Amino acid sequence: MKIRRPSARIAAAVASVGIAVVMSGCSNLNPIQTHEFYQSAEGTVANVYPAGPGEPVGLRNMLMIKTDDGAGLFTGTLSNDTAEEQTVQLTGKAGDTELFSETVTIPANGTVDLGEGEHQAIKVDQLSGIEAGDNMQVTFSAAGSEDTVTVAVLDTSLPYLKEYVEGLTTQQ
């Protein structure tokens, strides 16, 4: 009686199943990035949760842009994923100096784009001592939930930001 070893087909099938099991576990320990808010370019992203987990009021793409005349334009998008209108308080500081303090109302399940249409970019008359590449702190709150984030200061030396600033509507 002759003892036979497993055929090459069986060995290949077992190896294929083993590889499939190992490869399918890759996302088991790594978060799926499309389920997370993140900023892939310039700007800052942050959330507060006044209505509880899963219903954020958020900042998206927040930037302070220093214009050629030394003024500053704070711009970005405010989002509201709650079922109620939210009032957001924004306060911008550089060091101990308060640059702006504004209140913005965001409709339920809606967004407000600062600098677009009726929603004006927040203008700071003069950013003295603040240069492109510096950072500022922005505190935002909604219904008692608050966060402070770091926002970059950029300038109009980048052509697309220069064009963007020229198209913004601003406070006078």
Q: What's the confidence (pLDDT) of residue 43?
A: 82
Q: Is residue 60 part of a domain?
A: yes
Instruction: Look at residues 63, 71, 39, 91 and name the one whose alpha carbon lies nearest to residue 153.
Output: 63
Q: Is residue 13 part of a domain?
A: no
As to burial, measured by CB atoms within 10 angstroms (0-12 exposed, 13-18 middle, 19+ buried), residue 88 is buried
Which CATH number belongs to the domain containing residue 125 in this structure?
A: 2.60.40.10
- Total of domains in the chain: 1
Q: Is residue 76 part of a domain?
A: yes
User: Could you tell me the residue range of the domain that residue 121 belongs to?
Assistant: 43-167
Structure tokens belonging to residue 7: 């055929």
Each residue's pLDDT tens digit, 13-71:
888 887 876 766 655 666 665 656 556 668 888 888 888 888 899 999 899 999 988 99
| Partners of 64 in beta bridges | 74, 153
Mean of all residue pLDDT scores within the chain: 84
Structure tokens belonging to residue 13: 């099938």
Q: Is residue 19 part of a domain?
A: no
This model's pTM is above 0.75? no
Q: What's the confidence (pLDDT) of residue 81?
A: 92
